[in-house]
Structure 1
Amino acid sequence: MESLLLSHSAFIPSQNKEVGYLGRKLQSSFYGNMVSNNFALRSNINSANRSVMISSVFGIGRKVKKVKKETVIPEPDYRIPIVLLGWSGGLIYADNLAAAVPIGLLGLLLLVQTTRVRFVFDDEALEVKVGEQLEESGENVFVGGKNRWKYSSFVNWELWWPNFPILVYFKETQTRPEGQVHFFPVIFNGKQLYDVMVERCGPSKTSAPKES
């Protein structure tokens, strides 16, 4: 009996040891997984934070806002109508009414147009407007369509002549796919007109005036 009890008592502690060992193993395994999972989670969070910081520093993924160009309106220039009216007066003095009348009428027309017509260069297009309130000029009386042409449609343009500009010419594909030519008298500041045309439409392909 005693030997049976001793053998039973000897068996119980060994069983407790095994249970304790298994418990410690399970506990260490459980906490080890928790620690490793927490470490991996913290590592992922830190990596994500570093990625966000790097992206914010270098602007990765950030949309770049396009800077809108300011509207430019060249100032009126009365030199051409004044020259034409002076020429007409000289022809009248020389008793050459046949030439004086049409030249004088052209000078008067350009004088009125200089006071009311404006070239408006906005962010994306050149538009012809009229009046102090810059009202729309309606359809083009010669080729039809609105008097507004996007810079992207310009094929070529020229300004004659640099020291005393008389005409501005440009060709665009907005009115007609094959290209539409336009001529306008330079009743605006020639230098301002040239500078804004170069900036918005690019340099002339053929005979752009040299800077004087």
Structure 2
Amino acid sequence: MTQSPTTSGNVPSTGTIQLAPSYALPIALVGIAIPLVWVQPWVAGIVAVFGLFLLFQTVTLRLLFTETALDVFRGETLIRRFPYQDWQNWQIFWSKVPILFYFKEVKSIHFLPILFDPKMLRSCLEQRCPRA
């Protein structure tokens, strides 16, 4: 995380912020799959594979909040840029146990599993892309 002056909490007011990964969702899915093996083995397999897929995504993807956009990186490669000026709305579903992040751009909508620090995600969104 880039060190810069802060405006609220511990979110820098300028510079680029890289969100820390959160392994809670993928580990929970794999954990749910274990006892599910005795009830529905094929469903347990699907849940476990999905949890492992999300674990891989958590390890390889990085979200960076820049001054002008949310950037998604895989390793050192920028795979997508979402300029804030195109955002119309955003929402983090299930605040107590955040598992899904939604945002709407002018021409598309996006749903992302919460694979990053949800508190920092919310802080960055409130600061960089405040809701009207």
CA drift at 1:69: 2.1
Question: Which 4+ residue blocks in structure 1 deviate beyond 6 angstroms?
Answer: none
How far apart in 2 are the matches of 1:70 and 1:120? 10
Residue 82 of structure 1 is matched in structure 2 by: 27
Q: In structure 1, what is the equivalent of residue 52 of structure 2?
A: 108
- Name which of 141, 159, 175 aligns with 2:92: 159
- 1:135 is matched with which residue? 77
Deviations 1:117-137 (A, max 9, x none): 111111110111012xx3222
One-letter code aligned to 2:99: I
Are residues 1:99 and 2:43 paired? yes
Which one has the largest radius of gyration?
1
Q: After the TM superposition, which residues 58-69 of structure 1 pair with which residues of structure 2 at under 5 Å, given as runs? A: 69=14
Unaligned residue ranges in structure 1 (runs of 5+) = 1-67, 138-146, 174-178, 206-212
Aligned counterpart for 2:119 among listed residues 176, 180, 191 = 191
In 1, the alpha carbon distance for the partners of 2:99 and 2:86 equals 24
Taking structure 1 as the reference length, the TM-score comes to: 0.54
Deviations 1:148-195 (A, max 9, x none): 11111110000011121111000112xxxxx31000000000000000
- Quick one: distance in 2 between partners of 1:90 and 1:192? 32
What is the 5 A alignment of 1:163-178? 163-173=96-106
Q: TM-score, normalised by structure 2?
A: 0.86
- The AA in structure 1 aligned to 2:72 is V
Higher strand share: 2
Give 1:95 shift. 4.3
Give the share of equivalent positions with the same residue, in percent.
Answer: 34
Residue type matched to 2:24 in 1? R
Identify the structure with bigger relative contact order (alpha carbons < 8 Å, sequence gap 6+). Answer: 2
SS state of the match for residue 123, structure 1?
Answer: coil
User: Residue type matched to 2:88 in 1?
Assistant: V
Aligned length: 120
Equivalence map 1:10-21=2 (5 Å) = none
Where structure 2 has 5 or more consecutive residues not aligned to the other structure, the ranges are: 1-12
